[in-house]
A and B are shown apart, each in its own frame.
Chain A
Amino acid sequence: MLEFKDISYSYHTKSGETAAVANLSFKVEKGQFVSVIGPSGCGKSTILSLAAGLLSPSSGQIIKDSEEFGYMLQRDALFEWRTVEQNIFLPLEIKKRNTPQMRKNAVALAEKYGLKDFLKKSPSQLSGGMRQRAALIRTLAAQPEILLLDEPFSALDYQTRLEVCDDVQAIIKSEKKTALLVTHDISEAIALSDKVVVLSARPSHVVAEHTVGFGDSPKARRNDSHFAETFEVLRKELGI
């Protein structure tokens, strides 16, 4: 569970102060997949940094039932000098949980989700989609409770994006993780989430929240008759 209560946050630079987030409140229930969409530059990444505790809010309160976060970024940021397997072990090393048991779990996770033949390879030998999948397994290796996803599909080409985004959603669901995704892609948000939170332009606050009920998989959702309708509603709320 992760809850933002009246959160405000401002950036300070030499030339002045920019309010990125103002009185932002929303809640992610345990096991829920929530997407946050907003116009570009509305401080979406700031929300994830606040959630992870990388930034502290100027005012307001963030309530979370776990400090175990996994962060997934726009680019996979795999280390070229490590094999895929060593990349997946990276969070274990950093969090000083590099035990044989944890390593075994991480490898099992990688094998379960189709990385078995790539473990000993260099990231440069993987396709863009496979790299992002490796990045997800790396995120999951330290067994986080809450996943923070910062537009993790935006660097992929369209076809790979559909594929990987469906994969990632399935993996997150079957591992029963709580997830908070920020994106500017309306259809991605609808296809993946249990709930979509729409933000205003900067300083961002919540414009609307929608629970998405139809379809049981991203693919089914995209083909559902409600999809276009929901898309229109969100589009209007974003003001585009």
Chain B
Amino acid sequence: MKNTMNFSSEHIAYLKKQKRKKIITVTLRWLILALILGLWELLTYLKVMDPFITSSPSRVVKTLGSLYASGDLFRHIGITLGETLAGFVIAVVSGYIIAILLWSCQTVRAVLEPYIVVLNSLPKIALGPLIIIWIGTGYTAIIFMTVIVAVILCIMNTLAGFMAVDGTKLTLMKAMGAGRLATLKKLVMPASMPALMNTLKVAVGLAWIGSIMGEYIVSRAGLGYLIVYGGQVMKLDLVMTATFILCVLAGCMYGIIALVEKFVVKQF
């Protein structure tokens, strides 16, 4: 944009048009949010909807304020965020390592394939009671839940990325006399970076599912705990507030990964 002087008037018109399109999109986005919140607030204010059942934006703000005042807000956020991040990192790292093992040995891959398929389709929450009995009711149980929810998909996506590496490039490496390790390091790992970025995006979503699910089963604090507790004692304000915080956190985490992706995939 800085050297507008060098552009033809046609190009300037094109840029203007693009910019206008973007402005319209962003405005509409915020407008929808404002409309939903406004309507929600209005309908509860007019008692068309019962705020006891549906809560309302102003009550959510009030709840946020009281949570903050009691010092509980950041404690709950911190616990859930910590569990989610820990589960996410463990799932991604161990998924990557297992994918490397599966990639490097065709026999292992063939042998383990049905296990992975079954584990992938198993609803992980079914393991809840086992996790409580084996691991207990602390944070480790929730982190473990997060890991098992996310790790299978991490393995499968990462492996798919490894296997999708261009055959010509593999032949080239072989012709140069590269062994498995060199092929992995110089070709397969860098070539599958875009696939890894996709895996991270999916894994973030799954990690949140895992940690909240874990907190539903066993917890004494955290956003998932607030939601369950709020539901049990009919404090819908609390449920809505915790859900709202979750939306913001999940959105931010996804945004950070999208940013990293932009930076990494720029080279491809």
The answer to whether A91 and B171 touch (CB under 8 A), given A81-B191, A81-B193, A122-B267, is no
Cα-based distance from A73 to B172 in the complex (angstroms): 8
Give the complex CA separation of A75 and B166 in angstroms: 11
- Taking a contact as CB atoms closer than 8 A, the residue among B168, B175, B182 that contacts A52 in the complex is B175
CB atoms of B267 and A54 under 8 A apart? no
Q: Is the CB of B172 within 8 A of A71?
A: yes
B155 to chain A, nearest CB (A): 23
Chain A residues contacting B169 (CB-CB under 8 Å) are 77, 79
Chain B residue, CB-CB nearest to A67 = B177
Complex CA–CA separation, A81 to B268 (angstroms) = 6
Interface presence of A80 (CB below 8 A): yes
Contact A94 B176 (CB under 8 A): yes
Q: Which residues of A contact B178 (CB under 8 A)?
A: 94
A93 within 8 A of B: yes
Is A12 an interface residue, CB under 8 A from the partner?
no
Please name all residues of chain B whose beta carbon is closer than 8 Å to the beta carbon of A190 when the two chains form the complex: none
How many B residues, CB 8 Å from partner? 19
Binding site secondary structure of chain A: loop
B102–chain A nearest beta-carbon distance, Å: 23
The winner among B171, B172, B178, B193 for most chain A CB atoms within 10 A is B172
B174 within 8 A of A: yes
**Mask of B245-268 contacts with A, CB within 8 angstroms, 1/0:** 000000000000000000000011
Instruction: Please state if A71 and B175 are interface contacts (CB–CB under 8 Å).
Output: yes
Of the candidates A75, A80, A93, A94, the one whose C-beta lies within 8 Å of that of B267 is A80
Say yes or no for B186: interface residue by CB 8 A criterion: yes
Inside 8 A of B187's CB, which chain A residues have their CB?
79
- Flag if B176 contacts A73 (CB, 8 Å): no
CB of B173 within 8 Å of the partner chain: yes
Minimum CB–CB distance from A6 to chain B (whole Å) comes to 24
B191 and A73: CB pair below 8 A?
no
CB 8 Å contact bits of A69-85 with B (1 = contact, 0 = none): 10101110101110000
B190 in the interface (beta carbon within 8 A):
yes
Nearest 7 CB-CB pairs, A to B?
A71-B175, A77-B168, A94-B176, A94-B178, A77-B172, A77-B169, A81-B190
What are 16 inter-chain pairs, A to B, with CB distance below 8 A? A52-B175, A54-B174, A71-B172, A73-B168, A73-B172, A74-B168, A77-B171, A77-B172, A79-B187, A79-B191, A80-B268, A81-B191, A81-B268, A93-B182, A94-B173, A94-B176
Interface residue ranges, A against B (CB under 8 Å): 52, 54, 69, 71, 73-75, 77, 79-81, 90-91, 93-95, 122, 142, 148
Query: Which residues of B are in contact with A by a Cβ distance under 8 Å?
Result: 166, 168-169, 171-178, 182, 186-187, 190-191, 193, 267-268
